[in-house]
Amino acid sequence: MGKMNREIILKELEKIVGKDYATNRSEDLYIYSQDPGASIPRSVDFVVMPNNTEEVQEIIKLANREKISIVPMGGGLTLSGLIIPVKGGIVVDMKRMNKILEINQFSRYALIEAGVTTGQILSHLNENYQNLQPPIPDAPPSATVAGNMLIHGSGYLSQRYGGHGTMINGLEVVLPNGEICKLGSCAVSDYWFDRGPIPDFIGLFISAFGTMGVITKLSIQLFPKPKMRDIIFGLMNNPKDIPDLLLKITATGYAEDILLGMQDKPEWMKGYVFIMTYITGETEDDIDRQSKALKRIYRKSNARFMKAPEKMRNLYLDKPIFASGAADFRKGGGFEYVGAFIPLEKIPEAYKKGAELSRKYNIPPTLGSRLIGGVHNIVMFFSYSFNRADPKDMENARRALHETNKLALELGGIPWKAELEGQRLTLGKMDSSYKKLLKTIKNTLDPNNIMNSGNWEVI
């Protein structure tokens, strides 16, 4: 793109979103050329901040005409570089589209614009609908709800209610040709209450990283908020005991969430796998009864119950905790993890090999996992913090991440929200007919290949 053409395109973008919300100034583009993960920075040509669906439409039409890549961005916190353009182009920062359009207390959903942050929806419900809670990822409050849902995120409430991608009732999407499309019950009804008993295309846009269109509105499920919550904490010597323990806990139906982890700090946790089961209830008796039952299960499955340290209780019971502390282990501002969907039976091996892999790269093991929808899926976190001011340390983290992606696939798992290398590894293992279908759909929807091009690229 020549300088002249760049200036013309900027003027057109300014005409669409207003002068204040389109930029190609180097000081503005700099931060959009990288994320807090270990990806190598890549260049960005423009950043725009649309205020409504029609502006998104116009941006996409312009990009199609000029054959420039479009990269939609929410909070920019995937850590795996998904919002850094692969082939230059326009980053569409969605955060000005931040209206909460409807809270439906009967069908328990929120209809929101794509730039609403998880902090904003939580705060809105806390203030106005104390009986409802939203699904919240293990991410800071600046993560957008749409971003989290569309990468098939998980987090609080996932054990009881499922992965966040499955909590989407409906979408408004601007397709790569600039047309607006409503998906879910909202395509037929005024109510955004379900995906609807109609052919379900919502999945096309989940984990697609913006390659199929730009989501402008979405409806997400909300859930009743319990009066009381507690944590049943325990330690295990041996990861091989994890499957049996989790099968027993989930069979009770008590657990709202289950987290597991292995980390070297504090010192007393070193070498153990910890488990934290969240229980909820309406009365102290409810909590007491569930607590006793879970303690029995812990004992029978070789997990030693212990009263959670006060600091930990305060941190985790202030739900959601909006994690960011793990990113600061090395005080270096850099953090990325391989999150991988892994079947329960492979979790013990994932802990063992994950810890070995961390040590191989001289990074203290920081492993974790969260149950999604019972034991049907476990998302496993292999975390690496690094010093982003040290290129060697960053490269070390990149190599560790790459090897971890391979490990996840070897274990029968699938890297989640994978960076480009992880996507390539996944595509390499993907059934050829699935790849062919993916390519056909992608080429049909986006013949000019403008939508976050470079991602999920089937060669």
Partner 1 sequence: MELNVEQDWRDIVHRCFRCGYCKFTYEFSDFNCPSYKKHRFETYSTGGRLWLIYGLISREIPWSQGAANVLFACSTCGNCNENCRFDKFNDFLVDIIEAARAEAVKNGFCPEKQKALIERIENPEMYNPYGEQNSNNEDLKKEYDLPDKAEWVYFIGCTSNYRQKDLRDATLRFLKKANIDFTLIDEHCCCSPVIRTGQINSVKDFINYNIAQINNAGASKVITSCAGCYRTLKKDWLKYGADYDFQIYHTVELVKKLLDDGKLKVISEYNKTITYHDPCHLGRHMDIYEVPREVYKYIPGIKLVEMKRNRENAWCCGAGGGVKIGYPDWSIEISKERLEEAKETGATVISSVCPFCRTNLSDANIKFNMNFEVIDLIEILDKLEFEIFGI
Q: Would you give the DSSP letter of residue 66?
A: H
Q: Which two tokens stand for residue 446?
A: 């986006």
Where do the DSSP E strands lie in 185-290? 214-221, 223-224, 228-236, 255-263, 273-281
Q: Binding segment for partner 1 among 198-206, 376-384, 387-395, 430-438 (CB under 8 A)?
A: 387-395
Of the candidates 74, 76, 170, 454, which one interacts with partner 1 according to CB under 8 A?
76
Token output for 149? 């849902």
CB closer to partner 1 out of 17 and 242: 17
Peptide bond into 266 cis (omega under 30): yes
3-state secondary structure of 231: strand
Binding status of residue 57 toward partner 1 by CB under 8 A: no
**Using CB under 8 A, which of 26, 362, 433, 444 touches partner 1?**
26
Q: Which residues contact 392 (CB under 8 A, 6 or more apart)?
A: none
Binding test (CB under 8 A) with partner 1, winner from 142, 177, 207, 449: 142
Q: Which is nearer to partner 1, 212 or 222 (CB)?
A: 222
Nearest distance from residue 289's CB to partner 1, in Å? Answer: 33
Stretch that binds partner 1, among 232-240, 286-294, 385-393, 401-409 (CB under 8 A): 385-393
Cα angle at 90 between 118 and 335, to 5 degrees? Answer: 50
How many amino acids of this chain bind partner 1 (CB under 8 A)?
Answer: 45
| Binding-site member from 66, 99, 104, 140 for partner 1 (CB under 8 A) | 140
Give the x-and-dash track for 95-134 against partner 1 (CB under 8 A). xx--------------------x-xx-xxx-xx-------
Q: Which of 31, 188, 198, 317 binds partner 1 (CB under 8 A)?
A: 31
Q: Rounded to the nearest whole angstrom, what is the least distance from the CB of residue 397 to partner 1 in the complex?
A: 14
Cβ closest to partner 1, residue 44 vs residue 409:
44
Tell me whether residue 448 is exposed, middle or buried, using C-beta atoms within 10 angstroms of its C-beta: 0 to 12, 13 to 18, 19 or more: middle
Minimum separation from the CB atom of position 88 to partner 1 (A): 17
Q: State in angstroms the smallest separation of the CB of 17 from partner 1.
A: 11
The C-alpha R_g of the chain, in whole angstroms, comes to 22
- Contact residue for partner 1 among 2, 3, 4, 20 (CB under 8 A): 20
Smallest separation (angstroms) from partner 1 to the CB of 363: 16
* Region of 52-60, 100-108, 140-148, 415-423 interacting with partner 1 (CB under 8 A): 140-148
Choices 263-271, 382-390, 407-415, 444-452; region in contact with partner 1 by CB under 8 A: 382-390
User: How far is the CA of 367 from the CAs of 152, 154, 156, in angstroms?
Assistant: 20, 16, 18
**How far is the C-alpha of 379 from the C-alpha of 388, rounded, in Å?**
26
Among 93, 113, 257, 446, binds partner 1 (CB under 8 A): 93
Measured between alpha carbons, how far is 205 from 211 in angstroms, rounded to an integer?
8
Burial string for 88-110 (b: 16+ CB within 10 Å, else e) reads bbbbbbbbbbbebeebbeeebbb
Q: Could you tell me the smallest distance in angstroms from the CB atom of residue 26 to partner 1?
A: 6
**CB 136, min distance to partner 1, A:** 11
Indicate whether 318 belongs to the interface with partner 1 (CB under 8 A): no
Kindly tell me which residue out of 49, 400, 408, 409 binds partner 1, with binding defined by CB under 8 A.
49
What secondary structure, in 3-state letters, does 355-424 show?
A: HHHHHHCCCCCEEEEEEECCCCEEEEEEEEEEECCCHHHHHHHHHHHHHHHHHHHHCCCEEECCCHHHHH
Residue 70 interacting with partner 1 (CB under 8 A): no
Which residues in 321-360 contact partner 1 (CB under 8 A)?
Answer: 322, 324-325, 327-328, 331-335
Which of 26/444 has CB closer to partner 1?
Answer: 26
Contact between 141 and partner 1 by CB under 8 A: the answer reads yes
Is residue 273 within 8 Å of 380, Cβ to Cβ?
A: no
Q: What is the C-alpha separation between 152 and 111, in angstroms, rounded?
A: 18
Q: Which of 116, 90, 89, 92 is nearest to 102 (CA)?
A: 116
Residue placing its CB nearer to partner 1 in the complex, 110 or 407: 110
**CA proximity to 454, closest of 42, 116, 27, 122:** 42
Binding site for partner 1 (CB under 8 A): 20-21, 23, 25-28, 30-32, 34-36, 47, 49, 75-77, 93, 95-96, 117, 119-120, 122-124, 126-127, 140-142, 322, 324-325, 327-328, 331-335, 387-389
